[in-house]
């Protein structure tokens, strides 16, 4: 299809106005443009890419890569290779991370140009009558045929904590900025952001204390998968305190006093910095949604159907603003669905396995049905577990605490879900996603030849357990 | 609050039906059980009763429309609320009507969109249900059904065609639905309808290059016939056995009793006599009164004698079934046949009127034709076709000593399933049939 040249001037009306320049927004914009629609992508940031590129996935994974290197050098000791303690140059590290971001956002801007997506830097609000009010752009208003809300989410604050006003109390954005490496860090929240950033700072030299309100870390993953990760956290962190909440944070000149409360005790502790990672909230409060028929819940998450259409039939919403797992890849997929639906195609968000990956050491990944979800919904399943002690490749890399796990239908062996804990889980999980989406059965996986010696063998061998014994286990 | 009355499966896993008649108007007050629509499903007319008492607010379709399961037929105001509204003063009602008129355009737009994309509507309802489920985890437990295993691309094709994967017969291991299964299930791709290139193999040329054309929709009967006959032609190894019966005496007999039969029941036709003779032959050769169970590798022999009778109507070909032909005398049979033909022509046949035949008899003979190759109506294994009975010169005797006589001769064509019967069986069957037809007196004894 012929691409239109990007027109920098803002027209009176556009076919599709995409609000938000994150992965969901740009994926939607590209898809809509590919269907020949006039697309305007509006973002209030200088660079497009959204939280994912600027303050989320990409910078955190850049830092986690460094963390992995540091862990590897430490681990090498037991393999007969000794390294000097590392010299860490925070400024150079920051620069490396920022370079990665710039490369990617420049690439995206070029793609917009190439695909005829008009980029507008402005704050957009709905003004009724299929109009957007633009703040900070050369035109005040922009009419739309359809609008896609893709404004994402932001970190939720603790009550009485203003991230902006505080230097020592950080949200994930501040933590990724890597202003300094504190001697002591309190991480509030045992979800994936708290664990990932806790590990980054620990590897860079901070003493990390982690508190979590619930009785375990990563509450939405199966406990058996989380266990190796929890054990590692116990080892790396100064302490991991479960069933504990932060009753107060008080910033002094050089420290933050945190009041940590558990069932039977309350203690005051001092930290140089605190990272609050207790959840995220949707960016829907300043969009002027009251000017539309869009419906949203008490927390501000927008209600949509399978086409991502809101109750206002000219407005679609995708990604974090609609709740769910708040994952970039989910948002991208949803963005494409919304764009196709607007282009009159028969599209729907019909996905059976959205993979979730936690980039800690060890990595944790799962997709489809989890064991605890099956229990909660009273779904009969069979669980197959392949411990990595039985994998030659895992032993050779010192990853014997890993595990591969299938959740299958007890009768047919139909793959319903997969869980992995261990190195490379981020890539290994993809086979599980495909298996669930294709409606594969355990036998399909068992009869598929996996390369030896690799961690992917554990996937095939785990499936063999459904048929009887695996070559190296059971 | 107004509620929706949706089309649900009237039986046997049907997906869609054509609206033949609408018995109510917007504003009509109906009682639970009143017939509101008549639809044609799989060749049969079916009345749809209202499952509610109340006032019809809006009828969402018109005669000739095709409705699919889950489509909204009408919206109504349930009784108690409707009663209140009936008590409203006229002026209030007028005002309401005005308001309605105002929003009508919007509604129409919405409706058009819905019509254009019923699949989308379904999906939306599914999400709505999902959202409700979220709010009520217990409801989710109750309604939990494992998703049908199928690849994402298969699911996309099903979505485009508005097919629920649960309705598709899976061919893959452990109930996995393949793209081929969805394609075999049918359904028109909506995207194709919107002009996009389709993946279907037969692409038609642009006929307008050679002159003016018009396009006619394939309505229910035509479509079902097309599907059934393709299936029969695809799956059944047909063999045709032809012969000619001398029906001179039989016709003489028939004309003799025509008037008295007419007085008692209806038209005493040749078809009726052939039907009787056919039952006689079937009794001798039970494997023509059979069905094939390929899955269990068994032949099912039937101990009843019901004959399907092909009837041409202005709406298409229908095959109503005349029950227990063996137990009816000729007068009773005449009566049964004529009422059935009339019902068929008036579109009054029920689905059950067209089920359960032993074998089908088709007689296009009166319109002409000396030979035909009738296709079996599955799950039967044979069909008998009749050509035109004509007066022809027939040679009796041998070359040296012969005589030419005018005889009325009826061409017979037996189409049979070679998986169940062989050529010799068919020859014997037809010969027996001819024997019965040529000697009406013995036929009388036999029946």
3-state secondary structure of A270: strand
Report the alpha-carbon distance of residue A275 to residue A170 in Å, rounded. 5
Q: Which of B152, B174, B176 sits opposite A437 (nearest CB)?
A: B152
Buried-exposed string B114-134: b where 16+ CB fall within 10 A, e elsewhere: eeebbbbbbbbeebeeeeebe
Angle CA A176–A398–A468, to nearest 5: 115
Report the alpha-carbon distance of residue B437 to residue B412 in Å, rounded. 11
Q: Please report where in the chains the tokens 């598929």 appear, as a residue.
A: A448
Q: What is the pLDDT of residue A296?
A: 95
Q: B127 to chain A nearest CA, in Å?
A: 5
* B152 close to A (CB below 8 A): yes
For testing contact with chain A, the best of B106, B116, B123 (most A CBs within 10 A): B123
Judge: A346–B126 Cβ closer than 8 Å, yes or no. no
At B60, list the tokens: 């969402």
* B176 close to A (CB below 8 A): yes
Q: A347 to chain B nearest CA, in Å?
A: 8
Q: How far out from the chain centre does Cα B201 lie?
A: 27
Q: Please report where in the chains the tokens 């558990």 appear, as a residue.
A: A262
Judge: A346–B160 Cβ closer than 8 Å, yes or no. yes
pLDDT in tens, A366-406: 999 999 999 999 999 999 999 999 999 999 999 999 999 99
Q: Which of B113, B144, B177 sits opposite A379 (nearest CB)?
A: B144
* B145 close to A (CB below 8 A): no
Q: Which of B113, B137, B155 sits opposite A350 (nearest CB)?
A: B155
Partners of A259 in the beta sheet? A248, A268
Which residues from B are below 8 Å from A341, CB to CB?
120
Which of B32, B52, B87 corresponds to the end of one domain? B87
* Complex-level ipTM: 0.77
Q: What is the pLDDT of residue B9?
A: 67
Residues of B carrying an active site annotation: 418
A191 labelled binding-site residue: yes
Largest Cα span, chain B: 101
Kindly list the domain boundaries of chain A, sorted by start residue: 13-53+94-155+281-342, 169-278, 356-467
Partners of B308 in the beta sheet? B321, B360
At B33, list the tokens: 């059980």
Q: How many domains does chain B have?
A: 2
Judge: A412–B141 Cβ closer than 8 Å, yes or no. no
Pairing of strands A315-317, A141-149: parallel
* Domain spanning A169-278, CATH class: alpha beta
Judge: B127–A305 Cβ closer than 8 Å, yes or no. yes
Q: How far out from the chain centre does Cα B115 lie?
A: 25
- DSSP assignments along A361-408, one per residue: SS-EEEEE--HHHHHHHT---EEEEEEGGG-HHHHHTT-TT-EEEEEE
Q: Under a CB-based contact definition with an 8 Å cutoff, are residues A197 and A60 in contact?
A: yes
Q: A245 to chain B nearest CA, in Å?
A: 27
| Residue A209 CB burial class (10 angstroms; 0-12, 13-18, ≥19) | buried
Residue (of A31, A20, A29, A28) closest to A53 by Cα position: A20
Which of B24, B54, B87 corresponds to the end of one domain? B87
A21 labelled binding-site residue: no
Largest Cα span, chain A: 70
Judge: B147–A437 Cβ closer than 8 Å, yes or no. no
The 3-state secondary structure of chain B reads CCEEEECCCCCCCCCEEEEEEECCCCCCEECCCCEEEEEEECCEEEEEECCCCEEEEEECCCCCCEEECCCEEEEEEEHHHHHHHHHCCHHHHHHHHHHHHHHHHHHHHHHHHHHHCHHHHHHHHHHHHHHHHHHCHHHHHHHCCCCCCECHHHHHHHHHCCCCHHHCCCCCHHHCECHHHHHHHCCCCHHHHCCCCCCCCCCCCCHHHCCCCCCCCCCHHHHHHHHHHHHHHHHCCEEEEEEEEECHHHHHHHHHHHHHHHHHCCCCCHHHHHHHHHHHHHHHCHHHCEEEECCCCEEEECCCCCEEECEEECCEEECCEECCHHHCCHHHHHHHHHHHHHHHHCCCCCHHHHCCCCEEEECCHHHCCCCCCCCCCCCCCEEEEECCCEEEEEEEECCCCEEEEEEEEEEEEEEEECCCCCHHHHHHHHHHHHHHHHCHHHHHHHC
Q: Is residue B163 part of a domain?
A: no
3-state secondary structure of A227: helix
Residues B258, B261, B267, B271, CA torsion sign: negative
Percent of chain A topping pLDDT 90: 90
Q: Is residue B20 part of a domain?
A: yes
Which of B87, B102, B121 corresponds to the end of one domain? B87
Which CATH number do you get for residue B329?
3.30.559.10
The chain-wide mean pLDDT, for chain A, equals 94
Report the alpha-carbon distance of residue A336 to residue A33 in Å, rounded. 11
Q: Under a CB-based contact definition with an 8 Å cutoff, are residues B277 and B384 in contact?
A: no
A183 labelled binding-site residue: no
Which chain B residue's Cα is nearest to A409? B146
A194 labelled binding-site residue: yes
Q: What is the pLDDT of residue B103?
A: 52
pLDDT at A135 over 80: yes
Q: Please report where in the chains the tokens 């045992």 appear, as a residue.
A: A190
A20 labelled binding-site residue: no
> From first to last of its 447 residues, what are the pLDDT tens digits of chain B?
678 888 876 655 567 788 888 888 888 888 888 888 888 776 677 788 888 888 888 888 888 788 887 888 888 888 764 444 444 444 444 455 545 554 555 555 555 554 444 444 545 454 444 444 444 444 333 344 678 999 988 998 898 888 889 889 898 888 899 988 998 887 655 444 433 333 334 578 888 888 888 888 777 788 888 888 999 999 999 999 999 999 999 999 899 888 887 777 788 899 999 999 999 999 999 999 999 998 889 999 999 999 999 999 888 889 999 999 999 988 889 999 999 999 998 888 888 899 999 999 999 998 999 989 999 999 999 999 999 999 999 999 999 999 999 999 999 999 999 999 999 999 999 999 999 999 888 777 766
Q: Which of A71, A270, A452, A472 is catalytic?
A: A452
pLDDT in tens, A37-85: 999 999 999 999 999 999 999 999 999 999 999 999 998 998 899 999 9
Length of chain A: 474
Q: Under a CB-based contact definition with an 8 Å cutoff, are residues A127 and A288 in contact?
A: yes
Q: Under a CB-based contact definition with an 8 Å cutoff, are residues A368 and A418 in contact?
A: yes
Partners of B266 in the beta sheet? none
Which residues from B are below 8 Å from A304, CB to CB?
127
pLDDT at A326 over 50: yes
Judge: A346–B150 Cβ closer than 8 Å, yes or no. no
Judge: A352–B147 Cβ closer than 8 Å, yes or no. yes
A296 labelled binding-site residue: no
Q: What is the pLDDT of residue B195?
A: 39
* B399 close to A (CB below 8 A): no
Judge: B123–A409 Cβ closer than 8 Å, yes or no. no
* B237 close to A (CB below 8 A): no
Report the alpha-carbon distance of residue B94 to residue B96 in Å, rounded. 5
Q: Is residue B80 part of a domain?
A: yes
- Interface of chain A against chain B, CB under 8 Å? 303-307, 309, 313, 341, 344-348, 350-352, 376-379, 409, 412-414, 416, 437-439, 441
Q: What is the pLDDT of residue A96?
A: 94
Q: Which of B120, B141, B160 sits opposite A377 (nearest CB)?
A: B141
At A183, list the tokens: 């001697």
Q: Is residue B189 part of a domain?
A: no
Judge: A348–B191 Cβ closer than 8 Å, yes or no. no
Q: Is residue B107 part of a domain?
A: no
3-state secondary structure of A292: coil
Query: pLDDT band at residue A329, thresholds of 50, 70 and 90?
Result: very high
Q: Under a CB-based contact definition with an 8 Å cutoff, are residues A188 and A276 in contact?
A: yes
Which residues from B are below 8 Å from A348, CB to CB?
120, 123, 159
Determine the structural domain holding residue B390 and report its residue range.
223-446
- Give the number of other CB atoms < 10 A from CB of residue A89: 10
Which CATH number do you get for residue B44?
2.40.50.100
Q: What is the pLDDT of residue B12?
A: 54
**How many interchain CB pairs under 8 A, A with B?**
67
pLDDT at A450 over 90: yes
Length of chain B: 447
Which residues from A are below 8 Å from B175, CB to CB?
412
Judge: A439–B124 Cβ closer than 8 Å, yes or no. no
Q: Which of B131, B151, B159 sits opposite A346 (nearest CB)?
A: B159
Judge: A346–B119 Cβ closer than 8 Å, yes or no. yes
User: For residue A202, is the peptide bond before it cis, meaning its omega torsion is within 30 degrees of 0?
Assistant: no
Lowest mean pLDDT among A88-92, A395-399, A426-430, B83-87: B83-87
Which residues from B are below 8 Å from A350, CB to CB?
152, 155-156, 159
At B437, list the tokens: 């037809």
Report the alpha-carbon distance of residue B36 to residue A161 in Å, rounded. 63
Q: Please report where in the chains the tokens 């995207």 appear, as a residue.
A: B191
Q: How far out from the chain centre does Cα B338 lie?
A: 20
Would you say domain A356-467 falls under CATH 3.60.20.10? Answer: no
Q: B190 to chain A nearest CA, in Å?
A: 8
* B364 close to A (CB below 8 A): no
Report the alpha-carbon distance of residue A24 to residue A52 in Å, rounded. 10
A180 labelled binding-site residue: no
Superfamily name and number for A13-53+94-155+281-342: FAD/NAD(P)-binding domain (3.50.50.60)
Report the alpha-carbon distance of residue B163 to residue B181 in Å, rounded. 11
Q: Is residue B125 part of a domain?
A: no
* B190 close to A (CB below 8 A): yes
- Asked whether this chain's domains A13-53+94-155+281-342 and A356-467 adopt the same fold, the reply is no
């Amino acid at each position: 299809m012929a691409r239109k040249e990007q027109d920098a001037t803002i027209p009176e009306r556009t076919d599709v106005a995409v609000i938000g320049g994150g992965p969901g927004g740009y994926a939607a914009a590209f898809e809509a443009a590919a269907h020949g629609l006039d697309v305007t992508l509006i973002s209030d940031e200088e660079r497009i890419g959204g939280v994912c590129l600027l303050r989320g996935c990409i910078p955190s994974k850049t830092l986690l890569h460094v963390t992995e290197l540091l862990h590897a050098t430490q681990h090498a000791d037991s393999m007969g290779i000794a390294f000097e303690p590392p010299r860490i140059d925070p400024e150079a590290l920051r620069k490396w991370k920022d370079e990665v971001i710039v490369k990617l956002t420049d690439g995206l801007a070029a793609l917009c140009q190439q695909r005829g997506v008009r980029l507008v830097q402005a704050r957009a609000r709905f003004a009724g009558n299929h109009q957007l009010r633009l703040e900070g752009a050369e035109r005040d208003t922009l009419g739309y045929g359809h609008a896609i809300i893709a404004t994402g989410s932001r970190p939720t604050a603790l009550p009485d904590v203003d991230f902006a006003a505080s230097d020592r109390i950080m949200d994930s954005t501040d933590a990724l900025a890597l202003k300094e490496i504190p001697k002591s860090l309190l991480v509030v929240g045992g979800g994936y952001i708290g664990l990932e950033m806790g590990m980054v700072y620990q590897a860079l030299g901070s003493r990390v204390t982690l508190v979590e309100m619930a009785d375990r870390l990563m509450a939405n993953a199966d406990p058996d998968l989380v266990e190796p990760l929890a054990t590692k956290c116990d080892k790396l962190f100064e302490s991991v305190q479960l069933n504990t909440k932060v009753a107060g944070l008080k910033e002094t000149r050089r420290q933050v006093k945190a009041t940590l409360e558990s069932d039977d005790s309350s203690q005051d502790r001092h930290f140089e910095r605190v990272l609050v990672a207790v959840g995220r909230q949707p960016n829907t409060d300043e969009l002027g949604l009251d000017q539309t028929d869009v419906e949203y819940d008490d927390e501000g998450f927008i209600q949509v159907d399978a086409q991502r259409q809101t109750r206002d039939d000219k407005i679609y919403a995708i990604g974090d603003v609609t709740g769910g797992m708040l994952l970039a890849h989910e948002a991208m997929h949803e963005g494409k669905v919304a764009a196709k639906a607007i282009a009159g195609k028969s599209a729907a968000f019909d996905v059976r396995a959205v993979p979730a990956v936690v980039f800690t050491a060890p990595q944790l990944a799962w997709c489809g049905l989890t064991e605890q979800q099956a229990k909660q919904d009273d779904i009969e399943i069979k669980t197959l577990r392949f411990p990595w002690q039985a994998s030659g490749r895992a032993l050779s890399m010192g990853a014997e605490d890993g595990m591969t796990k299938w959740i299958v239908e007890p009768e047919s062996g139909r793959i319903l879900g997969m869980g992995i804990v261990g190195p490379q889980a981020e890539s290994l999980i993809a086979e599980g996603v495909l298996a669930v989406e294709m409606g594969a059965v355990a036998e399909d996986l068992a009869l598929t030849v996996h390369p030896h010696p690799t961690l992917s063998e554990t996937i095939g061998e785990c499936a063999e357990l459904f048929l009887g014994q695996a070559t190296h286990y059971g | 609050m107004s509620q929706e009355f949706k089309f649900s499966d009237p039986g046997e896993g049907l997906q869609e039906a054509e609206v033949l008649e609408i018995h109510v108007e917007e504003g009509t007050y109906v009682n639970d059980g009143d017939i509101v629509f008549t639809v044609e499903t799989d060749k049969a007319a079916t009345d749809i009763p209202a499952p509610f008492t109340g006032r019809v607010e809006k009828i969402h379709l018109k005669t000739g429309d095709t409705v699919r399961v889950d489509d909204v037929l009408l919206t109504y105001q349930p009784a108690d609320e409707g009663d209140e509204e009936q008590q409203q003063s006229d002026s209030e009602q007028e005002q309401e009507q005005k308001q309605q008129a105002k929003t009508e355009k919007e509604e129409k737009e919405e409706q058009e969109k819905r019509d254009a994309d019923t699949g989308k509507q379904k999906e939306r309802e599914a999400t709505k249900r999902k959202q409700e489920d979220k709010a009520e985890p217990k409801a989710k437990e109750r309604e939990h059904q494992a998703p049908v295993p199928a690849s994402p691309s298969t699911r996309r094709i099903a979505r485009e065609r508005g097919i629920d994967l649960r309705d598709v017969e899976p061919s893959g291991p452990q109930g996995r639905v393949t793209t081929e299964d969805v394609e075999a299930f049918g359904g028109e791709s909506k995207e194709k309808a919107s002009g996009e290139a389709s993946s279907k193999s037969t692409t038609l040329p642009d006929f307008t290059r050679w002159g003016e054309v018009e396009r006619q929709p394939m309505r229910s009967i035509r479509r079902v016939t097309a599907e059934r006959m393709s299936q029969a032609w695809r799956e059944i190894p047909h063999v045709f056995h032809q012969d000619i019966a001398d029906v001179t005496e039989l016709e003489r007999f028939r004309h003799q009793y025509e008037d008295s039969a007419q007085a008692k029941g209806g038209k005493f036709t040749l078809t009726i006599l052939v039907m009787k003779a056919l039952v006689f032959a079937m009794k001798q050769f039970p494997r023509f009164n059979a069905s094939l169970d390929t899955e269990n590798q068994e032949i099912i022999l039937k101990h009843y004698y019901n004959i399907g009778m092909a009837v041409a109507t202005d709406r298409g070909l229908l095959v109503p079934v005349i029950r227990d032909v063996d137990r009816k005398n000729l007068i009773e049979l005449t009566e049964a046949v004529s009422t059935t033909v009339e019902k068929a022509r008036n579109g009054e046949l029920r689905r059950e009127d067209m089920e359960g035949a032993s074998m089908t008899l088709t007689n296009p003979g009166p319109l002409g034709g000396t030979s035909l190759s009738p296709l079996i109506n599955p799950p039967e294994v044979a069909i008998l076709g009749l050509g035109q009975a004509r007066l022809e010169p027939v040679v009796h005797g041998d070359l040296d000593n012969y005589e030419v006589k005018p005889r009325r001769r009826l061409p017979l064509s037996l189409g049979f399933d070679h998986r169940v019967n062989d050529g010799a069986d068919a020859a014997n069957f037809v010969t027996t049939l001819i024997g019965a037809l040529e000697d009406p007196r013995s036929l009388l004894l036999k029946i």
